[in-house]
């Protein structure tokens, strides 16, 4: 299912027309922030070498955090979130590029990636806590264990990636960009950690499942707008953007949904059958 926002972003990126400001404000985004992002998209069109995926991601983040009662939150969080994700991607890509060019040994690349994962996943957890008004020092032992599990789980795939990349170097005639899709797995993991932290730290905080800019699967559509306590989302293990999520038709891959604090009443009755 194509959302109006996704279509508007795509048209703007292709240079066909740019009614992105009107579309963004229709989603509750402040007009000035909508205009600023539309200008950024205009500078990152297909003609200028920009990537549609990056334009979609930026617009998705603005809609997710920039509408309604979350405008003030968005001002403080959007820039930080985008910067940290971009820094994380640069660190991992630098390690992959080092393997590809032969300038980094396997051990050096592995250590660089493990350090980046540890640092950025920790940042992601803290970001998730801030969504519900908590500070890093408020983290419980159980939450610290969950963060450590996420870091270790992501780290287990690094050695395999390095071995795989060593067989796909420039000397082998392989293009560098063929390494990027696997790198994005860890970047997507950043968002998964944020959502898990929000659900675990929020406890009695009311969180609403919100769709992002993506091709929505039937499971995410059923969950859209549902409001439950953070403790409910966490204890039932129903969270957006989790890799291999068996409860979602999309399995969490390319999922752009988020859990956001809300003042809406709790959803009553049975939750939808999943997947």
Q: Does 87 lie in the same domain as 188?
A: yes
What local confidence, expressed as pLDDT, does residue 115 receive? Answer: 95
Q: Does 246 lie in the same domain as 174?
A: no
pLDDT tens for the chain, residues 1 to 275: 346 778 888 888 888 766 788 888 777 777 777 777 787 787 778 877 778 887 887 787 777 655 443 434 434 454 566 678 888 999 999 999 999 999 999 999 999 999 999 999 999 999 889 888 888 989 999 999 999 999 999 999 999 999 999 999 999 999 999 999 999 889 888 989 999 999 999 988 899 998 877 778 899 999 989 999 999 999 999 999 898 899 999 998 878 888 888 888 899 888 888 98
Q: Does 213 lie in the same domain as 166?
A: no
From 46, 66, 86, the end of a domain falls on 66
Q: Does 75 lie in the same domain as 58?
A: no
The reported pTM is: 0.67
Q: Does 252 lie in the same domain as 182?
A: no
Q: Does 198 lie in the same domain as 78?
A: yes
Sheet containing strand 206-210, strands side by side: 227-229, 206-210, 258-261
What local confidence, expressed as pLDDT, does residue 3 receive? Answer: 62
Q: Does 175 lie in the same domain as 82?
A: yes
Q: Does 221 lie in the same domain as 196?
A: no
What local confidence, expressed as pLDDT, does residue 65 receive? Answer: 58
What local confidence, expressed as pLDDT, does residue 223 receive? Answer: 94
Number of domains in the chain: 3
From 202, 217, 245, the end of a domain falls on 202
Q: Does 193 lie in the same domain as 77?
A: yes
Q: Are 120 and 193 in contact (CB under 8 A)?
A: no
Domain interval for residue 210: 204-275
What local confidence, expressed as pLDDT, does residue 82 receive? Answer: 67
Q: Does 125 lie in the same domain as 106?
A: yes
Q: Does 193 lie in the same domain as 80?
A: yes
Q: Does 141 lie in the same domain as 37?
A: no
From 141, 173, 202, the end of a domain falls on 202
């Amino acid at each position: 299912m194509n959302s109006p926002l996704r279509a508007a972003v795509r048209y703007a990126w292709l240079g066909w027309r740019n009614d992105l400001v009107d579309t963004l404000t229709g989603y509750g985004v402040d007009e000035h922030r909508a205009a600023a992002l539309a200008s950024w998209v205009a500078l990152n069109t297909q003609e200028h070498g920009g990537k549609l995926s990056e334009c979609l991601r930026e617009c998705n983040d603005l809609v997710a955090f920039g509408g309604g009662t979350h405008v003030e939150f968005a001002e403080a969080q959007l820039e930080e979130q985008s910067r940290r994700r971009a820094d994380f991607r640069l660190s991992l890509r630098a390690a992959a590029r080092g393997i590809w060019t032969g300038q980094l040994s396997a051990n050096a690349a592995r250590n660089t990636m493990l350090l980046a994962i540890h640092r950025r996943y920790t940042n992601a957890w803290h970001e998730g806590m801030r969504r519900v008004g908590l500070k890093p020092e408020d983290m419980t032992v159980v939450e610290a264990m969950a963060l450590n599990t996420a870091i270790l789980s992501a780290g287990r795939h690094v050695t395999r990636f390095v071995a795989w990349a060593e067989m796909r170097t420039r000397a082998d005639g392989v293009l560098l960009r063929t390494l990027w899709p696997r790198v994005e797995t860890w970047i997507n993991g950043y968002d998964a950690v944020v959502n898990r932290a929000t659900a675990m730290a929020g406890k009695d905080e009311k969180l609403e499942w919100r769709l992002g800019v993506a091709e929505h699967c039937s499971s995410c559509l059923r969950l859209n707008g549902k409001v439950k306590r953070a403790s409910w989302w966490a204890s039932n293990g129903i969270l957006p953007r989790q890799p291999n999520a068996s409860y979602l038709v999309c399995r969490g891959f390319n999922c752009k949904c988020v859990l956001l604090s809300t003042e809406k009443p709790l959803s009553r009755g049975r939750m939808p059958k999943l997947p």
